[in-house]
Amino acid sequence: MDRYIRQIPIIGEEGQKKLKKAKVLVVGAGGLGSPAIAYLAAAGVGKLGIVDGDSVEEHNLQRQIIHAGNVGMNKAESAKAFVERLNPDVEVEAYPFNITPENVVEIVKKYDVVVSCPDNFETRLLLNDACKILGRPMVHAAIFGFEGEAMTIVDTPCYRCLYTSFPKADKTSTAVMGFTAGFFGCIQASETVKLILGMEVLRGKLFRGDLRAMEFFEVEIDTNPNCPICNGEIKEIIPENYKN
Ligand SMILES: [Zn+2]
């Protein structure tokens, strides 16, 4: 408990035990996933699952700071090595491949909370659908430049309610400042810890922030009656429905 002596006055020993019992899945060990993983591990989350099929490249290190020294290594494995150095109390399972419609249900159902940190809309939608179907909370964030957004989806409007159309983003051209990823990844770690502790989170609210203008605000999100997840049209993950 010595390791957590600075946070126990805030969350109590009971809170620390809740964290120890929690199983959190982080999908994507990139810009958002790196800080989320680091702070969840540091806080003493008992089990972390980390999913990422990519390898560390030099241009990732501008923001993905947990991968320092690991260029060429798979990101899930690299993140696991980081967590084991930072906090040996945390059990880590690395999934060194991408989440797909075929494997998403089996992986997500092993965890209590999903932290969504991919770099594309397709994976966010897939995670959103799997989490809603399995009844798992999902902590969403996305970033661009100096700006980002975050939302915690529990029994509240979902990611599909938020966006009715999805542009085809080219991830290699997605420009971002490293600290924007750090800021929003930390919000995801914070939301996840608060969920585990039963504290109030960004439920039904989209948080938006612009670190250049230093403007931050929240938007109330309504359930979209045409959302096929929230209106019950989609009841299971059928891989054919996720093929382009
Ligand atoms: Zn919805």
Q: How far is the CA of 152 from the centre of ligand 1 (A)?
A: 13
Residue type at position 47: K
Q: What is the crossing angle of helices 8-21 and 178-197, to 10°?
A: 80
For the chain, list the domains and their CATH numbers.
2-242 (3.40.50.720)
What pLDDT is recorded for position 83? Answer: 98
How far apart, in whole angstroms, are the C-alpha atoms of residue 19 and residue 149? Answer: 25
List the one residue out of 176, 174, 198, 172 whose CA is nearest residue 185.
Answer: 176
CB atoms within 10 A of CB 234: 16
Q: How far is the CA of 38 from the centre of ligand 1 (A)?
A: 30
Beta-strand ranges (E) seen in the chain are 23-27, 47-51, 91-95, 113-116, 138-144, 147-153, 205-210, 215-220
Q: How far is the CA of 224 from the centre of ligand 1 (A)?
A: 6
How far apart, in whole angstroms, are the C-alpha atoms of residue 218 and residue 169? Answer: 24
Ion ligand 1 neighbours (CB, 5 A) are 158, 160-161, 227, 229-230
CA quadruple 60, 61, 64, 70: dihedral positive or negative? positive
Global model pTM greater than 0.75 = yes
Which pairing describes strands 147-153 and 205-210: parallel, antiparallel, or unpaired?
antiparallel
What pLDDT is recorded for position 1? Answer: 77
Q: How far is the CA of 174 from the centre of ligand 1 (A)?
A: 26
Instruction: Place 143 in a pLDDT band, splitting at 50, 70 and 90.
Output: very high
Instruction: Tell whether the model's pLDDT for residue 35 goes beyond 70.
Output: yes
Pick from 1-5, 161-165, 227-231: least confident = 161-165
**Chain-wide mean pLDDT for the chain?**
95
Buried b / exposed e along 170-196 (16+ C-beta atoms within 10 A) = eeeeeebbbebbbbbbbbbbbbbbbbb
pLDDT, tens digit, 9 for 90 and up, residues 163-190: 877 666 655 557 999 999 999 999 999 9
pLDDT, tens digit, 9 for 90 and up, residues 101-140: 999 999 999 999 999 999 999 999 999 999 999 999 999 9
Instruction: Place 4 in a pLDDT band, splitting at 50, 70 and 90.
Output: very high
